[in-house]
Amino acid sequence: MNLMSERVEILGVKVDAVTMAQAVNFVEKLIAAKKNSIVATANAEMLLRATKDVELKNILSAAELVVPDGAGTVWAAHHLGYEMPERVAGFDLVQELMKIAPSKGYKFFLFGSAPEIADKAKVKAEELYPGIKIVGTRNGYFNVDDEPEIIAQIKNSQPDILLAALGVPKQEKWLAAHKNELNVPVSIGVGGTFDVMAGVVKRAPKWMQRAKLEWLFRAMLQPSRAGRLVALPKFVMKVVRSKKK
């Protein structure tokens, strides 16, 4: 289902050229449609990974909405000659959805991240968005034997939106594998969102986000992630080469 946006192909993955407002509007339509939809937030790292991971690529192709998360995705679209109005970061999309949730009655389930983090993110959400309904939380460290119980917990709490923070591509694969059992209108893979909400990880200051340097801030703050930076030049090179072809 693709109601209004252009889909822009970047390294074989179609990304929706939406603004934040359009993305929010679209998620609301998906909630109303109740069709177990998947929303992905595609940054450079995810798009690069999808060139080698067919399962991930297929999941992204089948996703109802793929938003341009990250300066790299917006840059790539522009480089390839497409319109891409703005960056729609997963973290920001979650905040926008939570903002309207109390008046719309949308219920959330927070699944993923280290023990206690999803609970802290819940407390923070209740503080920031009074009246919001967070109907359950579950940390993201589990083995296969735990899965039936996790699925039952999510299903029985009947959220409208399931946020899965297990990292890429685990969250996308998990959501795709279980979407029919879960029977949740909209599931979104949200990476490190709960860590930021819980205050464990900081978001880059606004000026750095505007300068398109959030990736650099993250690498500085979590040196363990610095290795992941090589994905950026690789992504740029692949996009440039794909244009030449």
CB 110 within 8 A of CB 118: yes
Nearer Cβ to ligand UDP (25/153) = 153
Closest distance of CB 244 from ligand UDP, Å: 29
Q: Which amino acid is at 98?
A: M
Nearer Cβ to ligand UDP (68/112) = 112
Nearer Cβ to ligand UDP (83/116) = 116
Interface with ligand UDP by CB under 6 A: which residues?
A: 112-114, 140-141, 165-168, 170, 191-192, 194-195
Q: Which amino acid is at 173?
A: K
Nearer Cβ to ligand UDP (90/159) = 90
Closest distance of CB 141 from ligand UDP, Å: 5
Closest distance of CB 81 from ligand UDP, Å: 28
CB 104 within 8 A of CB 155: no
Nearer Cβ to ligand UDP (165/175) = 165
Nearer Cβ to ligand UDP (103/143) = 143
Closest distance of CB 150 from ligand UDP, Å: 11
Q: Which residue is nearest to ligand UDP (CB)?
A: 140
CA pseudo-torsion sign 142, 172, 91, 99: negative
Question: At residue 108, what are phi and psi to the nearest 5 degrees?
Answer: -115, 150
Closest distance of CB 195 from ligand UDP, Å: 5
Q: Which amino acid is at 50?
A: A
Closest distance of CB 218 from ligand UDP, Å: 8
Please report where in the chains the tokens 């993250």 appear, as a residue: 218
